[in-house]
């Protein structure tokens, strides 16, 4: 590990929180154990995941995207596992780039393991607070086949939705039915999700307005999940007969998460857009002796 000071920031998107590690030239190796220690809420900085900020040209998984996106979001879950995408993470990643003076308001492209995601940073609001960030999340895939989610002996049918990462969306009468979500809900058949799955429990709040709780694979229950909110919106629209490809116009849902509110739209071409806040709350430098022990 490099002996140079390791800078970090903390940020969140609707209280889905992240440790941000600027590593522009791709010199830092983060093992799964190191990520888990950084995310530990008692022995580390505490977070749902780590966002390592690397120039696409400096990362082997992103070099092919460097011509379209200068920056690669190397996202890891809090247990250290690698994830394809994180919707809230993209918004916070974009906010970091703005905070660091690397981009301004307007459009930018971010490389992820699920492909390039395009974001738009809005102008500050009348109160002077940073504007929301909108992310084009790509198109949802709706794999065929029945899926069932089970918690505490109670089961529900679930919609299989893939937003670059896998989701099982179950509509329930009460969010309390999700239980404590310390452990992953049982999802069958297991063959539907060979690499694990994020599970969303959803209730209706009003016309085109839903609320959710989510168990993220590799992290447990989180305050928010951007790809999960998008998966929920797509599943709810199909349930409600509001397929934008059929209607010929965008369909928008308000999606409440434990940490706030997101606005999700699906366009007639299938592209899903997510709009919500992104906040940088702190920045600093890791203690050198702690980093040497933990990140070595």
pLDDT-derived band at 1 (thresholds 50, 70, 90) equals very low
Please report the pLDDT score of residue 98 as a whole number. Answer: 97
pLDDT tens digits, 32-68: 999 999 999 999 999 999 999 999 999 999 999 999 9
What's the mean pLDDT in 4-16? 94
Cα separation of 45 and 43, whole Å? Answer: 7
Q: Matching CATH topology for 7-132+279-294 and 147-276?
A: yes
Residue linked to tokens 């307005």: 209
Which residues participate in the annotated binding site for substrate? 16, 77, 87-88, 165, 198, 216-217, 226-227
Per-domain residue ranges of the chain = 7-132+279-294, 147-276
For domain 147-276, the CATH superfamily is: Diaminopimelate Epimerase; Chain A, domain 1 (3.10.310.10)
Structure tokens at 173: 């009468």
Alpha helices in 49-136 (DSSP H): 87-99
- Looking at the annotation, which residues are catalytic? 86, 225
Please report the pLDDT score of residue 117 as a whole number. Answer: 94
Q: Residue 31: name the closest of 248, 293, 213 by CA.
A: 293
pLDDT tens digits, 153-174: 999 999 999 998 999 999 999 9
pLDDT tens digits, 106-137: 999 999 999 999 999 999 988 888 999 999 99
pLDDT tens digits, 13-37: 999 999 999 999 999 999 999 999 9
Please report the pLDDT score of residue 2 as a whole number. Answer: 52
Computed on alpha carbons and rounded to an integer, the radius of gyration of the chain in Å comes to 19
Distances (CA, A) of 39 to 76, 88, 111, 120: 10, 16, 23, 28
Please state, for a pLDDT cut of 70, what percent of the chain lies above it: 99
Q: Which residues, including other chains, have CB under 8 Å from residue 20's CB and lie 6 or more apart?
A: 8, 9, 10, 11, 50, 51, 53, 92, 93, 96, 280
Averaged confidence pLDDT in the chain: 95
- Assess whether pLDDT exceeds 50 at residue 69: yes
pTM for this predicted structure: 0.92
Residue 207 sits at the vertex; the CA angle it makes with 160 and 235, to the nearest 5 degrees, is: 5
What's the mean pLDDT in 193-216? 96
The yes/no answer on whether domain 7-132+279-294 falls in CATH 3.10.310.10 is yes
Cα separation of 75 and 13, whole Å? Answer: 14
Please report the pLDDT score of residue 275 as a whole number. Answer: 98
């Amino acid at each position: 590990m490099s002996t140079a000071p390791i800078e970090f920031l903390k940020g969140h998107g609707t209280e889905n929180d992240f440790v941000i590690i600027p590593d522009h030239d791709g010199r830092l190796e983060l093992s799964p154990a190191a990520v888990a220690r950084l995310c530990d809420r008692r022995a580390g900085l505490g977070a749902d995941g780590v966002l390592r900020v690397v120039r696409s040209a400096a990362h082997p998984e992103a070099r092919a995207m460097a011509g379209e996106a200068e920056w690669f979001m190397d996202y890891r879950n809090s247990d250290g596992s690698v994830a394809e995408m994180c919707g809230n993470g993209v918004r916070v990643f974009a906010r970091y780039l703005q905070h660091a003076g690397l981009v301004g308001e307007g459009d930018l492209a971010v490389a992820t393991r699920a492909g390039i995601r395009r974001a738009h940073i809005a102008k500050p609001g009348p109160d002077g607070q940073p504007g929301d960030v909108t992310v084009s999340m790509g198109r949802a895939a709706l794999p065929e086949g029945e899926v069932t989610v089970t918690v505490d002996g109670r089961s529900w049918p679930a919609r299989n939705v893939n937003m670059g990462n896998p989701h099982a969306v179950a509509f329930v009468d009460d969010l309390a039915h999700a239980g404590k979500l310390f452990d992953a809900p049982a999802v069958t058949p297991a063959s539907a999700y060979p690499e694990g799955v994020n599970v969303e429990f959803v209730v209706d709040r009003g016309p085109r307005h839903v609320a959710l709780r989510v168990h993220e694979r590799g992290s447990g229950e989180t305050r928010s999940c951007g790809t999960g909110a998008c998966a929920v919106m797509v599943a709810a629209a199909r349930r409600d007969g509001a397929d934008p490809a059929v209607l010929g116009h965008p369909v928008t849902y308000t999606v409440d998460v434990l940490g706030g509110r997101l606005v999700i739209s699906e366009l007639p071409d299938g592209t899903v857009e997510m709009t919500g806040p992104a906040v940088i709350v702190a920045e600093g430098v890791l203690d050198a002796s702690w980093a040497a022990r933990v990140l070595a």
